[in-house]
């Protein structure tokens, strides 16, 4: 694989200034919904309508939120670095794409897609998913294309390969409490990468993080992207 100079991981914090709730901050998503009710395989089996309504609600609300300066700066950095740059996100929103990013690995899934439960067909979906929505390819029942707690994240082989071959790994707007994303910094470090954190709450003293840039994503990310060499 061609050496990746920079791998970036983003979390909910990069979309906070676009008005999207984070998960664990104050007034976070998980203060309003129980993970067990909307983000586990058991929840989907137990009450599929509740789960589908939850993701319909999030999907319908997305167009009201615009990508912010941090999303846009990362898209420009991707353009400048080309295939030596890889963006991985834990977010299921489409703000990176709407901010201009061409290639985004959504390791926790994508709100704008559904997946068929029989043949894993994935397809773009911007409407209201109901219990009768069927896969346009094979007619099977479908589900939100979201990775639930307890399920295996997406693109892990490609992400691990990139982390083993990068000069720098940066993590932006994530509390680093959910694995395996939370383990990427130690993994990259073990392969010799320089690790940078850009976050509102900064993990000073974290043994794997070389550089901590504390602040709001729209303030610190554009400056960091411009100066990245």
Question: Which residues sit in the known binding site?
Answer: 11-30, 90-93, 116, 135, 173-175, 199-201, 217
Numbered residues of the known binding site for Zn(2+)? 116, 135
153 touches, from ligand NAD, ligand APR, none (C-beta below 5 to 8 Å by class): ligand NAD
Binding flags for ligand NAD, 89-108, as an x/- string (CB under 6 A): ---x---------------x
Mapping DSSP to helix (H, G, I), strand (E, B) and coil, where does residue 137 land? Answer: coil
* Smallest distance, ligand APR to C-beta of residue 132, A: 27
Would you count residue 175 as binding ligand APR (CB under 6 A)?
yes
Would you count residue 112 as binding ligand NAD (CB under 6 A)?
no
- What DSSP state is assigned to residue 134? B
Residues in 70-99 that interact with ligand APR by CB under 6 A:
90
Rounded CA-CA distance 158/83 in Å is 13
Q: Which of 41, 63, 150, 192 binds ligand NAD (CB under 6 A)?
A: 150
Contact 192, 4 (CB under 8 A): no
**DSSP E strand stretches across the chain:** 4-10, 85-89, 104-106, 109-116, 122-124, 142-146, 166-172, 194-199, 211-214
Region of 110-118, 164-172, 174-182, 220-228 interacting with ligand NAD (CB under 6 A): 174-182
Cβ-based neighbour number of residue 212 at 10 Å: 15
By C-alpha distance, which of 193, 197, 229, 188 is closest to 215? 197
Rounded CA-CA distance 197/206 in Å is 10
Q: Which of 11, 99, 153, 222 binds ligand APR (CB under 6 A)?
A: 11
Q: Which of 177, 183, 201, 226 binds ligand NAD (CB under 6 A)?
A: 177
Rounded CA-CA distance 73/158 in Å is 23
116 strand-pairing partners: 142
> 107 vs 225, which CB is nearer to ligand NAD?
107
* Smallest distance, ligand NAD to C-beta of residue 92, A: 6
Would you count residue 61 as binding ligand APR (CB under 6 A)?
no
By C-alpha distance, which of 73, 154, 61, 71 is closest to 106? 154
Rounded CA-CA distance 40/46 in Å is 10
Is 121 in the active site? no
Residues interacting with ligand NAD, by CB under 6 A? 30, 35, 39, 92, 108-109, 146-151, 153, 177-180
Active-site residues, by number, are: 108
């Amino acid at each position: 694989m061609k050496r990746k100079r920079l791998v970036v991981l983003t979390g909910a914090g990069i979309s906070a200034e676009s008005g999207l709730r984070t998960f664990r901050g104050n007034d976070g998503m998980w203060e309003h919904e129980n993970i067990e009710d909307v983000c586990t395989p058991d929840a989907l089996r137990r009450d599929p309508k509740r789960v589908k309504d939850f993701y319909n609600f999030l999907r319908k609300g997305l167009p009201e939120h615009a990508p912010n300066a941090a999303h846009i700066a990362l898209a420009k950095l991707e353009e400048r670095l080309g295939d030596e740059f890889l963006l991985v996100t834990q977010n299921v929103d489409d703000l990176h794409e709407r901010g201009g990013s061409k290639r985004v690995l959504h390791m926790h899934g994508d709100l704008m897609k559904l997946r068929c439960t029989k043949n894993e067909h994935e397809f773009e979906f911007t409407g209201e998913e109901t219990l009768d929505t069927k896969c346009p390819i094979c007619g099977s029942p479908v589900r939100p294309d979201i990775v639930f707690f307890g399920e295996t994240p997406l693109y892990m082989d490609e992400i691990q390969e990139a982390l083993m071959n990068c000069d720098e790994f940066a993590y932006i707007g994530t509390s680093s409490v959910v694995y395996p994303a939370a383990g990427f910094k130690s993994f990259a470090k073990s392969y010799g990468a320089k690790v940078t954190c850009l976050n509102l709450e900064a993990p000073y003293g974290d043994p794997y993080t070389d550089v901590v840039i504390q602040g709001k994503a729209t303030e610190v990310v554009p400056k960091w992207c411009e100066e990245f060499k």
